[in-house]
Amino acid sequence: METLIEELKTTHQKTLQETDTQLSLTLESLESAVEFVSAMSEDEEMMFQILKEWESSLHQEKRDITIKKSQKDYHRVLSKVGKHLVSIPSNEIPFLTSKKLEKELMDQLIAEHLYRIGDFELGDQFLKESGSTIPEGFRGLMVKMHKILGQLYERDISSALNWVHQTLQIRDKDSVNEKEVKKNKNKKESKKGTEIKKGMEIKKEMEIKKEMEIKKKEEEIEIEIEMEMEIEKDKEEKEKEKNKIGKETNNTQQQQILKKTHSFEFRLHKAFYLNLLLNNELKEAINYSRKWFKQFASTHMKEIKQLAGCLVYSNGFAKRRFPELFNGSVWLQLHSEFREIYCLVAGIPSHSPLELLCQAGESAVSVLKKVSGLIPINTGDELPMEIPVDNNFKFHSSFICPVSKERSTQKNPPVLLKCGHVISKSSMKTLIEGGKTKFKCPYCPVITNSQIDCIEIKF
Amino acid sequence: MNLQKSLIQPCFEQLSRRLHKQYSLLNKTLTASFKILYSLPKNQNVGSDKIVEQMKKEIERLSKLQKDLNNYSKDDQLIIKKMQLRLQYHLSLLQVTQKNKTKNEEENENQEENKQEKDKDKEIKKENEIKEEKNMDKEKDKHIEIEKEKYMNIEENIDKEKKKENGNEKEKEKEKEQENEKDTKFFQDQIKLRKLELNRKLTEYMFRKGYNKTGTMLTERHQFLKQLVDQSLFLQGKKVSVSLSKHNLSIPLKWCLINRSKLKKIDSRFEFQLKKQQFIEIMRKGNRKEAINYARKNFPPWVGKCFSEIKSVMGLLAFPTPNEQSSIPNEEKEPFEILPERYQLLYGEHSWRKLNELFTREHVVLFGLSESPSIEVEFKAGICAVKTASCHSLHKKNQNNQQKITEHGTEKGKKMGKKKKNKKDSVLKGFDLFKEKKNINTNDNNDVVDRNTNCPTCHPIVNKIAKNYPRNLITHSLIICPLSGQIMTPDNPPMIFPNGNAYSLDEMKKMAEQNNGIVTDIKTNQKFKFTQLRKAFIV
């Protein structure tokens, strides 16, 4: 393609030059003829002779035909380019064409993306023109984030520190509240349990009476009632699970947030301290470190030691000893870390989902195109082939049993064997078939006891 | 390769149209003027003054032609430059994606070696670390460069404005040369290229949907965007679509005439749809004769392809038009309502909307672009690549719980009624069986709730879109530590608690060091000893 376009360029220039020269030559000859004719205006015979000669020379030179030829050359090359373009297959992937309700959603996503970049003017204009809206509060969140980021670019950590302290306070309060809420929940559950027990007792009395009367019906009713009890137990279990999972995720998130904000705060102080060192304000650096580094002694001792060591060097030797601390990379890390933490605390993704998915889609498009031509792709559950994807785009755990190649679910969880290998529960059941309790791991000859040694794993 | 088509074909189409115009102009003037010139010596009776006059006229004409052609070809040259720039851009994008592919392949190979040989593992690890550090440094340098260049760009813009005010041609030429060099350097910088590509797609989306102000704002903010996006194409298309929304068919019909040969290549029926609409408009006024004549003239060439549609439209003749009164006396309904639905639709706004949609699609396909904006296509392809089953589990789990409860209430009684033999055994067995049956009844959507706020498909808006698209097939296990967010590898395997939860070895080591060998399960706040944890080997 490159060569074609180069050729196009050169032929275009050639034709341009050709036509230009030919036209100018004709014009010259015309003008000279005009001069002659006007000079010979009296003698008509001479005039016509000159004209005839001039006309025959024009015929011989055939300037108009050469012009047309050169234009046709250019046309030929251009049509070559056109044919090449037509031979490239079209871009369409049938099952990815747009559907009705997607327009508004796409507009919302794009607006979010524009706000994340920090271009609020553009985002507002876009929302005006498209007429869509985004969830409240998102814009405000992004405005705050960019304010703090702007200050960080100028190496000012005050607003970032404020934000950190605020979030830590809120999280502390939350954790206190959660403990109270947990206590209340336990009380409620115990109350429910007693109520259900009473109900069960009453029902049992009824059952006994009925049993005395009719035997066949008794059995059925018993079974029904027992099933109802079990339904209620099930309900309780599910609610507990919901609460558990909600608690679990909340717990892990809280822990993560606390840890990360803690270390982020440390890095803020570290960056400021290094700045002070850069400017040779040693006393102030020491005072600053005394004020702020105590709380991080348990978690970040190594780094503090290194930072303290920098004091020993004077007049720029610290830069040579620890180049990575003084070259500005500390601040760059801060920027990206701040983004991540801010978004984690707010509960939104740290990168624009539009950007991430478009990046992932770049390589996916070609694969999908190839396959959609061969196999019809259902928009149902799963693709028939795997799109190779970078590890950056993997956010969820998934376990594939090496024996059955099935994905594990809550109902078919992975199971840890004695030897440390992991297979899915269904494959384990097939190995136990026939009422066995012990079986060999498919990978190593270690024998596992299915009832004692196995643990179901929750990834 | 596909991007190449959508980038370059619009330029090509532009060039070919210009060539046609240019050539016809040239042809006309050349033949006309040379005719006159050749005929001059033959008119012997004409006076010399008149001959001189004619010759001067031809001089004027030919010099005008020369000027016009020169101006034309300057613009042509700009378009060819644009083509070259776009091709360069496309090739550099390809390089970037290929580099990433080779990187991934190298990484995969390294991982396989690690599995096979243990001693070499550590060496390779060290090398990788050094490589990663180098890459990190490079990326950091790039970040620093980006910051610097932000300020630099502002200065450059000020300089450019000053130069424009001066307006010397030589300086402009020099600038262009410098810019060309800068182009190549710019296109070699990965991060900038990626950003530019995203912005290009965004601007294309804006112009396609008609958000022209935001589109122009975007082009002003980023270099090269004006040359990479075909703003004029979409603006041209807007004219036609505006006239369609005003129910005016003259401009679209002209457009069809101009592009007839190309529309044929795509096998489009847009022209027929326009004529059908014209027929409907004539019928709306009530002129049946005129309508029949129009149909006789215009429909026959389309009989081969669109016969069924022609039939249905001609059916309108049988019914009263919206303005006519019904011929049936004492009819309470309005004449329009007697028509069956599909005919009412023909008269309504719906058909105009369809026309508009059809036009926007065909107009874009003519120039080699894809029907839907490229950002949408890539975005959805990304969804297919990134989406996992656990992205939807939060929402679907609640639904399934409700279903379960209702299913329990209705179905259990029937099934259990049949099993009467041994009360306890049957009950327990039946319950187990019923549980297993639940597996068959319910979908695979009872997945582990694995929340990750960073996952783009779990974002509520994306989730709604993603429901309609399939998820990626996963062939290898991938476990992520809930604490550190890192992918667990054979060197950092999952450690399994007695209650079933799993965390990475590194995190557990850290925790154990800080807490005298005791590790807490964060999800349940239970405490265990580090020695109670069991290593899991994921194949």
User: A124-160 b/e with 16+ CB inside 10 Å = b?
Assistant: ebbbebbebebeeebbebbeebbebbeebeeeebeeb
- Asked if the Cβ–Cβ distance from B140 to A400 is below 8 Å, we say no
Q: Please say whether the beta carbons of A422 and A415 come within 8 A.
A: yes
CA distance A393 to chain B (A): 6
pLDDT digits (tens, 9 = 90+) for B368-426: 888 888 888 889 989 989 988 888 654 443 333 333 232 233 333 333 334 344 444 43
**HSE-CB for A238 with a 13 A CA cutoff:** 16
Nearest CA of chain A to the CA of B383: how many Å?
A: 6
Interface A:B, Cβ pairs < 8 A = 438
Restricting to B residues 194-253, those with a Cβ less than 8 Å away from any Cβ of A are 194, 198, 201-202, 205-206, 209-214, 217-218, 221
| 0.80 exceeded by pTM | no
- Is A211's pLDDT higher than 80? no
Q: Compute CA distances B458 → A140, A342, B377, whole Å.
A: 22, 18, 19
Q: Inspect the interface and report whether the beta carbons of B456 and A353 lie closer than 8 Å.
A: yes
- The whole-number average pLDDT for the span A63-86 is 87
Taking CB atoms and an 8 Å limit, are B19 and A74 in contact across chains? Answer: yes
Residue in B194, B218, B382 nearest the CB of A361: B382
Calpha distance B400→B326 (Å, rounded): 55
Q: What is the mean pLDDT of residues A309-326?
A: 78
**Section B432-443 average pLDDT:** 34
Between CA B286 and CA B288 the distance in angstroms is 6
B293 pLDDT more than 70: yes
**Residues counted in chain B:** 539
Res. A387: pLDDT tops 70: yes
A96 and B377 in contact by Cβ < 8 A?
yes
**Would you say the C-alpha torsion A301, A302, A307, A309 has a positive or negative sign?**
positive
Segment A214-236, tens digit of pLDDT: 666 666 666 777 777 777 676 66
Percent of chain A residues topping a pLDDT of 90? 4
Q: Which residues of B touch A247 (CB under 8 A)?
A: 523
Look at A68 and B27 and tell me if their CB atoms are within 8 Å.
yes
**Range name among A136-145, A203-212, B382-391 with the lowest pLDDT average:** A203-212
Look at A26 and B523 and tell me if their CB atoms are within 8 Å: no
**CB-based contact B435:A399 (threshold 8 Å):** no
Which residues of B fall within a CB distance of 8 Å from A41? Answer: 48-49, 52
Supply the pLDDT for residue A113. 92
Whether A300 and A263 have beta carbons less than 8 Å apart is answered as yes
Q: How far away is chain A from the Cα of B332, in angstroms, using its nearest Cα?
A: 38
Q: How far apart are the first and last CA of chain B?
A: 37
From chain B, the residues in CB contact with A248 under 8 A are: 523-524
Q: Which of B456, B465, B502 sits opposite A102 (nearest CB)?
A: B465
Q: What is the pLDDT of residues A149-190, one digit of tens each?
A: 898 888 888 888 888 888 888 777 766 665 666 666 555 555
Which helix or strand (DSSP H or E) is residue A422 part of?
A: strand A422-424
| ipTM of the predicted assembly exceeds 0.90 | no
Whether the per-residue pLDDT at B169 is higher than 60: the answer is: no
Least confident of A16-25, A419-428, B173-182: B173-182
Strand partners, B528: B519
pLDDT at B334: 64
Exposed/middle/buried for residue B431 (C-beta within 10 Å: 0-12, 13-18, 19+): middle
CA angle A15, A21, A23 (to 5 degrees): 100
Question: Does the pLDDT at position B53 exceed 50?
Answer: yes
